[in-house]
Structure 1
Amino acid sequence: MSLASSPYTEDLRLAHMIADAVDAQTMRHFNRMDFTVETKPDLTPVTVADREAEELIRAQLARARGRDAVYGEEYGETGSGPRRWVIDPIDGTKNFIRGVPVWATLIALTDHGEPVVGLVSSPALGRRWWAAQGGGAYTGKSLSAAKHLAVSQVSNLADASFSYSSLDGWRDIDRIDQFLTLTKNVWRTRAYGDFWSYCMVAEGSVDIAAEPELELYDMAALVPIVTEAGGQFTSLDNDPGCTGPNALATNGRLHSEALQALQSQPNEPTFDF
């Protein structure tokens, strides 16, 4: 399997070119810390770096793929059609504003709703991950300097490494007990968080990653990277890809068991006497 075998190779090349430009811009802000932090209506933080990054991506897409739709975290939906670029200009904004290098720009292309290209660029970590449907998943600094990704071979939950973000969302969806049970049944847990958990699943260094509350722009770029590396990506209720409101990514061998562990439990019936 190689990138040449994917019909989306040129779209992936474009995503790399865009990411190169965005990385330079976001790193200038990150190194200088020359921004103010605002709070959006959903109480999440946003900076000028987030907005400028999305504006740059949209401008380049308008020139190179003017007929495609675009959906981004900061500016919503523009255009229409079967091909849609999905953007998270800075995934991990809370890390970004505190000087923690675990943040990334996420660029995805969906075709008739299916994620077919995914690129995650984390310049502060010096890492980039990408995939195109049918062409495999890779990591490296460029297309010419790339290493093929493959998920782990771990098949027993007791031997698995599980990564997540935080506890709060699990309480919000009433699955905190299931989450805690899963953490007790695996070999190791770490809260690498955000994009990094899923890229590590694709690399084979983590076996399970899950989050209880996500948006499309949080997930779309991650789906091709995990699946092209041989893994599986669904919602916690087994909706395919990023069609649900949350995510579970595994090496595939552990997916059914992890799904079962994180299933919501039916409410006990109550009776009035």
Structure 2
Amino acid sequence: MSRYSADLRLAAQLADAADAITTARFRAQDLAVRSKPDRTPVTDADTAVEDAIRELLGAHRPQDAIAGEEGGGSASERGRVWLLDPIDGTKNFLRGAPVWATLIALVDDGEPVVGMVSAPLLGRRWWAATGEGAWLADSAGEHRLSVSAVPELADAYLSTTDLGSWVEYHSREAYLALVDACWESRAFGDFWQHCLVAEGILDVAVEPIVNPWDVAPAQILVTEAGGRFTDLTGEARFDGGSALATNGLVHDAALAHVGLPR
């Protein structure tokens, strides 16, 4: 048990509420969709999930701040802040692909201390809290997670979200150099690749552009599983605008290819 055990239990309740909404709206014929100013889609399920979680947090943690992808708020506030991404993988949700999840994190004075990732159509839920390890629940039960022991990039399994994002936000050539240095690459994308690093299936997951609520749960999930999580300057932070999650052993070598100056 840790000082955040009660918050972790609450995060599970929030995820249950989110799953009830998202599963009911998945592949719904009357799903309402609009585009945000950055041209990314948002559905009525996104807003309904965030509204429901905000209402529950208001009842159970009225003193805490909240920042969410749809409802706004500051991820950089001091004290306790809940970060919400109601549906990470909205494009998959829209296309009827089952790879999407609700992301919930509690950040305390700038450090993620609770992370919850619930992907109901995959039948998987990942969670972590400071000092309590990283865990996965799936059809086989609950499992404590540990990152891989792969020591070299030449043997590493790599994932990103979208090659096009490297063209726009960093360097396509830098990412391809990392691909060439690794054993194998895929694009599992979004939340799933970071969860797979925590599971020890992937060794490296990297993104040139992220929002804080996209990766705050991933930071504590990966680190509690024994890995390392930084932005592309090498700072251990979820709000640096980019993300690199690894088993720790290959982190510096991966940064040598895609790292940004501090």
TM category (shorter chain) comes to over 0.9
Cα drift, residue 58 of structure 1: 0.2
1:126-166 residue CA offsets vs partner (Å, 9 max, x unmatched): 10000001110000059xx5210000000011100001111
| 1:220 equivalent among 216, 236, 252 | 216
Match of 1:200 in 2: 196
Cα distance change on mapping 1:33 and 1:233 into 2, 3 Å: farther
Contact 1:211/1:248 (<8 A) preserved: yes
Structure 1 residues 125-144: aligned runs within 5 Å: 125-140=122-137
Cα drift, residue 33 of structure 1: 4.0
Contact 2:231/2:240 (<8 A) preserved: yes
Contact 1:90/1:106 (<8 A) preserved: yes
Partner SS, residue 180 of structure 1: helix
Match of 1:39 in 2: 35
| 2:19 equivalent among 20, 23, 32 | 23
Cα distance change on mapping 1:129 and 1:205 into 2, 3 Å: same
What is the one-letter code of the residue matched to 1:50?
D
Structure 2 residue 62 is the aligned partner of structure 1 residue 66: yes
Q: Distance in 2 between matches of 1:205 and 1:18?
A: 27
1:161-198 residue CA offsets vs partner (Å, 9 max, x unmatched): 00111111111234211100111111110100000000
State, as a whole percentage, how many aligned pairs show the same letter.
50
Match of 2:259 in 1: 263
Cα drift, residue 243 of structure 1: 3.0
| 1:95 equivalent among 84, 92, 97 | 92
Larger of the two Rg values belongs to structure: 1
Q: Distance in 2 between matches of 1:263 and 1:70?
A: 31
Cα drift, residue 240 of structure 1: 1.2
Partner SS, residue 158 of structure 2: strand
Unaligned ranges ≥5, structure 2:
none
Partner SS, residue 26 of structure 2: helix
Cα drift, residue 9 of structure 1: 0.7
Contact 1:161/1:208 (<8 A) preserved: yes
Unaligned ranges ≥5, structure 1:
266-273
Q: Distance in 2 between matches of 1:104 and 1:63?
A: 23
Partner SS, residue 147 of structure 1: strand
Contact 1:175/1:264 (<8 A) preserved: no
Contact 1:102/1:125 (<8 A) preserved: yes
Cα drift, residue 22 of structure 1: 1.0
Structure 1 residues 167-246: aligned runs within 5 Å: 167-246=163-242
Contact 1:131/1:138 (<8 A) preserved: yes
Cα drift, residue 21 of structure 1: 1.3
Structure 1 residues 246-261: aligned runs within 5 Å: 246-261=242-257
Which segment drifts farther, 241-250 or 192-201?
241-250
Contact 1:69/1:81 (<8 A) preserved: no
Contact 2:27/2:94 (<8 A) preserved: no
Partner SS, residue 236 of structure 1: coil
| 2:106 equivalent among 101, 106, 109 | 109
Q: Distance in 1 between matches of 2:106 and 2:244?
A: 20
Cα drift, residue 241 of structure 1: 2.4
Structure 2 residue 149 is the aligned partner of structure 1 residue 153: yes
Cα distance change on mapping 1:8 and 1:264 into 2, 3 Å: closer
Match of 2:71 in 1: 75
What is the one-letter code of the residue matched to 1:166?
D
Cα drift, residue 264 of structure 1: 4.5
Contact 1:68/1:81 (<8 A) preserved: no
1:112-136 residue CA offsets vs partner (Å, 9 max, x unmatched): 0110000000001110000001110
* Two-structure CA RMSD over aligned residues (Å): 1.6
